[in-house]
Amino acid sequence: MSGLMIGRFERPNQQRFLGVVRSAMVCDVSVVVGADDDHSGVTRLIESWDRLLPELTKYTDDPSATWEPETGLRALPPVTPRQIIQAGANYRQHVIDLALHTPEKWPDGATPDDVRTFMEQVLDTRAESGEPYCFPGLVSTLSGARDDIVLPAAATQPDWEIELGVVIGRRCSSVSTAEALDYVFGYTICNDVTLREKVYRTDIPAMGTDWLAAKNPPTFLPTGPYLVPADSVPDSSGLRLQLSVNDEPFQDGTTGDMIFGVAALISYLSRTVALLPGDLILTGSPAGNGATRGRFLKSGDVISASITGLGTQRNVCVTASKVTGS
C-alpha cells in the first residue's frame, strides 16, 4: 500500500469517519477501523496497525469499494493526540535569521558577518553536544488543514511556522537515537501559529517565554490534511517544507536543516516523557517566518503550506469579532 494517506473527515451531516485517500477521493474505512464518533478512531488504528493494514488493503483494493470526492468533506486533524510536544529553535537558518534581525542584542561593533559566524559556531556546538529545546502544547489548539485560523481581536503580531509533525506509533520510553525511528507511526503537516508579542513576558522578564499565551489559542495548530505512515516516507530528513501567504512565498526549506533530527528529538523526549501511541511531536520550523520580515498575519490572509508527500494545507485567517463571557 505504497503512498498510503489516512485522514479524518466530516460530512455535511456532521458524521465523522476515518478514510483512505487516493487521487482526491476518499474511501470510508469505518467498517474496518470502527466509527470515529468518540474521536479515538485514529488512535485505535495506530495501536492495531499491524493487524488492520492487511484488512485496509483488501477493503480499499476491492473494486466494489465506495469512494467519494474529498472536496465535499471537511478535513479534520488526522490525529487525536493525548500529548503534543514542540521543539523550538531547531532549524539552523531560522535561528541565524532571528539573530541577524535583532541587532539590539549584538555586541558593540559587531557586523552581520560577525553575528552569522558566531551563530554558526554556536549551532555547530549545540548540534554536537547540546540538547533540543522542547515544551508542551495543548490539544485544544488543533484545527483542520482547511479550517479558518481565528486571530484574537487584540493580536498584533500573529506569525506562521510550518513544521513536520511526527506521530508516535507505540509507547516509547528511554529509547536510543538508533532505535527511535522504530517508534514512529507516521508524519503530517503542522502550522504552529504564534503570537510574537506574547512570547516574552515584559511584566515578569525573569520567567522567560510564555508559550501558553503565544501558541495555544484555539485553531492555532492547523494539522493535516493527512497522516502518512512512515513506510510511505522513505527519508524524513530530506523533505521540503513550503509556506506562502496570499501566494507570496515565505518559507522554503528542508528537514535536512534541522539541528536535531527526528530520531534525536524522540530519544531526548523519551528520557523525560512516556510517549504514547498517537502523540504528536512538532519538530521546529525553517527560516522565513514573519518576525524576520516584519510581516504578520491579518484577517483575509490565505496561508498555503505543503511538505513533500504529505499534502497541502489552505487556511484563511479571520479575526474574532468579540470575546464574550468570562
Tens of pLDDT, residue by residue over 72-99, are 999 999 999 999 999 999 999 999 998 9
The C-alpha cell that represents 110 in the structure block: 559587531
Residues 88 and 38 in one domain: no
- 75, 102, 122 - which closes a domain: 75
Q: Do 248 and 301 share a structural domain?
A: yes
Gap between the Cα atoms of 18 and 28, Å rounded: 6
Is 112 part of a structural domain of the chain? no
How many CA atoms, within 13 angstroms, populate the side-chain half-sphere of residue 38? 6
Residues 243 and 155 in one domain: yes
- Rounded CA separation 34/41 (Å): 7
Based on the domain organization, do 183 and 296 belong to the same domain?
A: yes
Q: Mind listing the pLDDT tens digit for each residue in 236-253? A: 999 999 999 999 999 999
- What phi and psi, each to the nearest 5 degrees, are found at residue 143? -145, 170
Does residue 69 sit in the same domain as residue 88? no
138 and 25 inside one domain: no
- Would you say residue 1 lies in a domain? no
What's the mean pLDDT when you consider all of the chain? 95
Tell me, yes or no, whether 203 and 221 share the same domain. yes
CATH number of residue 217's parent domain:
3.90.850.10
Pairing of strands 84-88, 25-28: unpaired
Shared domain check, 140 and 68: no
Cell numbers of 101, please?
Answer: 534581525
Task: Give the chain's radius of gyration (CA, Å).
Answer: 20
Asked whether residue 141 falls in the same domain as residue 280, the answer is yes
* Any domain includes 286: yes
> Quick one: pLDDT band at residue 325, thresholds 50, 70, 90?
very low
Q: What is the DSSP letter of 258?
A: B
Partnered with residue 63 across adjacent β-strands are none
- DSSP of 6-50, one letter per residue? EEEEE-TT--EEEEEEETTEEEE-HHHH---TTS-HHHHHHHTHH
Residue 234's pLDDT band, with cuts at 50, 70 and 90, is: confident
> Is 166 found in the same domain as 52?
no
| CB-CB contact of 45 with 186 (8 Å) | no
The answer to whether 309 and 228 have CB atoms below 8 angstroms apart is yes
Average pLDDT in the 170-179 region? Answer: 98
Q: Establish if 126 belongs to a structural domain.
A: no
Count of domains for the chain: 2
Structural domain boundaries enclosing 275: 84-92+131-319
> pLDDT tens digits, residue range 119-167?
999 999 999 999 999 999 999 999 999 999 999 999 999 999 999 999 9
Query: Are residues 160 and 295 both part of a single domain?
Result: yes
Number of C-beta neighbours around residue 59 at 10 A: 18
**218 is written with which cell numbers?**
484555539
In terms of domains, do 241 and 284 share one?
yes
Q: Which residues contact 222 (CB under 8 A, 6 or more apart)?
A: 143, 144, 145, 147, 149, 190, 191, 193, 303, 305, 313, 315
On whether residue 326 sits in a domain, the answer given is: no
The whole-number pLDDT of residue 1 equals 38
- Three-class SS of 131-180: CCEEEEECHHHEECCCCCEEECCCCCCEECCEEEEEEECCCECCCCHHHH
Answer yes or no: is 117 within a domain: no
Tell whether 71 is covered by a domain: yes
